[in-house]
Structure 1
C-alpha cells in the first residue's frame, strides 16, 4: 500500500471516529429511576468566549471585568432549572420509596440511594406557598445542591454537578456577545425572563419564556442559580492562566448567576455576578438542626451540568465530598 493511500484511509478512519463520537453528543432525557420524573439535558458545544462585560455595557459592574478569553470543554446542561418534583424525591426518602413502589422495576435505584446524605425534612413549606409542581426548587444551600448531584449520580450512574461560573456564562450567552443572550435591548427581556417588573413578586413554572439560542430556558431570571465558584470580586484580574474556576475555601460568598424574579433587568445580564449572603440563612427550617441544607432565599435554585468527558472515580469522589466548612 502506498503512503499516500495509507494516509487517505487513515484520515477517513480518524474522521469517522470523530463523527461517531460527536454523534453521541446530543440532547437527551435523563430518567429518574423509581419515579416518572425526567430531566432534559442540552448538548453545549465546546469553544472559546470572552467572559465578563465591557465597561461600556449598560449595567456593567466592576466585578465583571476585565473581560478575558476562556476555553470551555463540551458539556450538557439542564434545559430547565431543577424542579420540586425531582428535588423532593431527594429531600423526602419516604416519598422516594413510595414512588418506587409504583415502579417496581426501578427498586434497585432506591436501594442505591438509601444511604445518601440528605437534609432532615423541613417543618415549613419551602416553596413559601408560591407553587410546587413544575416550579423550580428553591431555598437550598450550595452544599445541599452538591449532595443532590451525588444522590442523582448514585441513582443513575451518571456524573452530574453544578456548573462553574465560566460554563454558566458561556451557556447563557449561547454565542452572543451582548448584554443578554438575545441582544442589548432590555425592552425585550419580558419575552425571555421573569424579573421584578413582570413576576408579580413570585417565581413561575419553568419553561414559559423563550429559550436562548441553544435551547436553555430561564437562564435570565426566574431564580438565581448556584455555581461551583467562590465569589471573588476581582477574580478576573488575578485569575491564574488555565484555572477553570475558583474553588470554595470560605463559607461566604459563593457565586450565584442569572438574576431572579426579584431582581431588576440589569441584574439578569449574562455577565452579572451575585455573591451569596449570610442573611439567606436567617431561618433554619430543619429539625433536628444539622449542616445548613436550606436557606430563606426564595429566589435561589440551580440546574445541572454533565461534562462530556467523565471525570475519574477519584475526581468524582472529591467533588461529592466537599470540605465541610463551619456552618456550611
Structure 2
C-alpha cells in the first residue's frame, strides 16, 4: 500500500474518531466555538494576473476576476499547528510518518529523516510560521478547523475502490481552505487597493519580507515586517505558501474565479521564503511541488469563501487549546501579540536640541538615555483597527470631540473626523491619525497585556498615571525619541532622521501628494527606523517644558501645562518641521489628521 495512502488514511481516521468522541454541546457552548482571528475580507475585483509583456507562459499576463473572499493576515504558526496536533493525539504529518522532510544544509536541500514541523533544522517559537507541512497536511488542518467552528468542510478526502487517494474540493462551501492561486496573487498585490509595488506591499523588499539577505537562514516570527495594502503580512518571503490549484501554464483567455485544472502532478506554491532571492519575492512568481513534499521553507495560509454556516460547531477535547493567532490557545487580546516590529536602541549620551534652532529648541544640552526598544514604524491603520476589533475601544475623537483638518487655508474642527474617517485616502499600511495620547496609551496597555508585560499606564475615568519603570509598551520620552531619530550611537549627524535630504527619508509637503503614505516606503535612518521625519507627528510621553542647560539622565519633561510634546513633522508641512530636534506641543485631548504615534518599551 502506498505510503501516502497509509498516512492519509490513518490521519483521516484519527480526525473522525476524535470528533466523534467530542461531548455533546449545548447551544450556548456552540456559540463559543473557536474562531480564527486575523481573517481579512478581500473585496472582489478584476486584475491583470501574471507579468505584462512576458514571453514566459508560466507568468504570461491574462485578465482574471475574483469574487470576494477571506484570507488570514498571517501564515499558520507553529503554535496554531501545535494546538491541532495536540488535540488529535497520535496524528502525524507526512514528514513525521515517513521521514521525507527536506532541510537546507551546506548550501543544498537534503532529505532528513528526523526533520518535522517540530524540528525544521533551526530554532523556532510558537510565533514562527509552521513548516515541514505538505499540501495534504494543510488541507487536513483546514478541514479540522472547519468542523471545530461549525463550517462546511471544503475537502473530501476519499479512498477509491482501487485503493487510490482522491481529494475533491467544493470551494462554494464556507469552510477553511487554501487560497486559489488567483486569490493569492490578487491579495498579494493589494486587491482593489493595489499600488502596483514591485514586491508585496512595498518597493523596498527589506521592509516587507524575510529573504536570503536578511533572514539569518531561518524563518522569523510572523507579522514582524510591514503588511501590504490589505494588512496582510509575510506574503513575500518567510515561507512559501501552498495554494489550492494544481500547477499548469497560464491560458490567455480571461477567467473568473479560476481554481486550476482538475488533476495534475504538482500543486502551486507562492510567495518565496527565507531562502529566496529578490526575484522570487514578486507577487507574480510561481513555484510548484508535489502535494506530498515537505521542506523547511514551505508553510501555508488560510482562506475562506464568503458563505453561510450550515453545520454545528464543535469544541476541542478537554485540556487542549483552540487554534488562534500568535500562539496556541490564544484568543481575544492575545491575538495582538507580536503585532508591532521593534528596533533595539542601545543607550548612550548625546547633545539634545540645537543652539542654532528655534527658541524652544535651545539650549543644546547633554542627555543620557538607557537602552530601549522603539517601534520600527509608526502604528498603522491596520494595527490600530485590530486593537479596536479585539478590545472594542472608542477613541476620544469618536466620542464626539472630532478632530482638525486643513481646509481653505485654515484648520477646521470636524466633529465627524476620526481615525475611521480621516478626511484622507488611506490604506491599512498608512499611519493611523486623529489619535490623542489617551488613545495611544490604551493601545499600549492592550499590547502589554497581550505579551504578558506590566502595563505602564493606570487609566481611570478621570486620571491617567504612568510608571515608566515597568516593562510594558508606552509612548517614547522626548529624549528617547530624539536620540533614536538622530541614529543613536550610529548617528551621522544628519539634519533629518537618516539623511540631510528629506526626500530620501520622509513624506512632506513636496512629495506626499497631500496625504499620509504607507509606512516604511522611504529609506530608514541609521538604526533601521522609518518615518521619524515626516508622514505624521508622533506623540511623546512628556508634557511640554522649556529646556535647561543642565546635563540630564533619562529626562521626562513636566510642567503645569496639559500640553504634550509631538515630534517628527508631517505630510502637510515643509522641511523645517521634520528636523530631528524640531518640537511641537498641543493640548493632550486635541488631535488632527497629522497626529499619530510610535511606541517604545524597556528591553
Q: Same fold by TM (over 0.5)? A: yes
Cα distance change of structure 1 residues 249 and 176 upon mapping to structure 2, 3 Å threshold = farther
User: 1:250, 1:120 → 2: CA distance?
Assistant: 20
Q: Distance in 1 between matches of 2:440 and 2:386?
A: 13
Contact 1:228 1:247 in 2 (8 A): no
Residue in 1 aligned with 2:477?
A: 164
Q: Indicate conservation of the 8 Å contact 1:195/1:261, yes or no.
A: yes
TM-score normalised to structure 2 length: 0.36
Change (3 A) 1:52 1:225: same
Q: Post-superposition shift, 1:248?
A: 6.2
Q: How far off its partner does 1:173 sit?
A: 0.3
Q: 1:241 to 1:171 in 2, by over 3 A?
A: closer
Q: 1:272 to 1:149 in 2, by over 3 A?
A: same
Instruction: State the structure with bigger RCO (CA 8 A, min sep 6), 1 or 2.
Output: 1
Q: Give the secondary-structure state (helix, strand or coil) at the position aligned to 2:439.
A: helix
Pick from 319, 343, 346: which aligns with 1:42?
A: 343
Instruction: Report the alpha carbon displacement of residue 78 of structure 1 after superposing the two structures with TM.
Output: 0.5
Q: Any idea what SS the aligned residue of 1:227 has?
A: strand
Q: Which residue, out of 187, 190, 195, partners 2:503?
A: 190
Instruction: In structure 1, list runs of 5 or more residues that go unmatched.
Output: 1-26, 97-112, 282-294, 309-328
- 1:62 correspondence with 2:364: no
CA contact (8 A) 2:508 2:534 kept: yes
Q: How does 1:195-274 map to 2 (within 5 A)?
A: 195-232=508-545, 234-237=546-549, 241-242=552-553, 244-247=555-558, 249-251=560-562, 253-274=563-584
Residue 84 of structure 1, CA deviation: 1.3
Q: Is the 8 A contact 2:395 2:435 kept in 1?
A: no
Q: Shift in Å at residue 243 of structure 1?
A: 5.8
Greater Rg, structure 1 or structure 2?
A: 2
Give me the whole-angstrom Cα distance separating, in 1, the residues matched to 2:506 and 2:485. 12
Aligned to 2:371: 74
Aligned length: 236
**Does the 8 Å contact 1:231/1:254 carry over to 2?**
yes
Q: Residues 1-328 of structure 1: matches in 2 within 5 Å?
A: 29=224, 33-34=334-335, 38-55=339-356, 60-91=357-388, 95-96=389-390, 118-119=394-395, 122=398, 125-158=420-453, 159-174=472-487, 175-183=491-499, 185=500, 188-232=501-545, 234-237=546-549, 241-242=552-553, 244-247=555-558, 249-251=560-562, 253-277=563-587, 281=590, 295=591, 297-308=592-603
Higher strand share: 2
User: Which residue is equivalent to 1:313?
Assistant: none
Partners in 2 of 1:121 and 1:260 — Cα distance? 20
Superposition RMSD in Å: 2.7
Alpha carbons of 1:223 and 1:121: their partners in 2 closer, same or farther (altered >3 Å)?
Answer: closer
Question: Residues 83 and 136 of structure 1 are in contact (CA less than 8 Å); yes or no, is this contact kept in structure 2?
Answer: yes
Alignment CA distance shift 1:85-1:167 (3 Å): same
How far 1:133 moved relative to its partner? 0.8
SS at match of 1:135: coil
TM-fit CA distance, 1:120: 7.5
- Label 1:35 to 1:167 Cα distance change in 2 as closer, same or farther (>3 A): closer
CA–CA separation in structure 1 for the residues paired with 2:540 and 2:519: 19
Contact 2:507 2:534 in 1 (8 A): yes
Judged with a 3 Å threshold, the aligned counterparts in structure 2 of structure 1 residues 34 and 250 are, in CA distance, closer, same or farther, namely same
The 1:37/1:128 distance shift into structure 2, 3 A limit, reads farther
Task: Report SS of the residue matched to 1:39.
Answer: coil
Structure having the larger proportion of residues in helix: 1
Residues in 2 aligned to 1:37 and 1:299: alpha-carbon distance in whole angstroms: 26
What residue is the counterpart of 2:407 in the other structure?
A: none
SS in 1 for 2:548: helix
Q: Secondary structure at the match of 2:367?
A: strand
Evaluate the alpha carbon distance shift between residue 268 and residue 155 of structure 1 in structure 2; reply closer, same or farther with a 3 A threshold. same
CA offset digits 1:130-164 (Å, max 9, x no partner): 21411111111112111211111122213111000
Change over 3 Å in CA distance of 1:140–1:182 after alignment to 2: closer
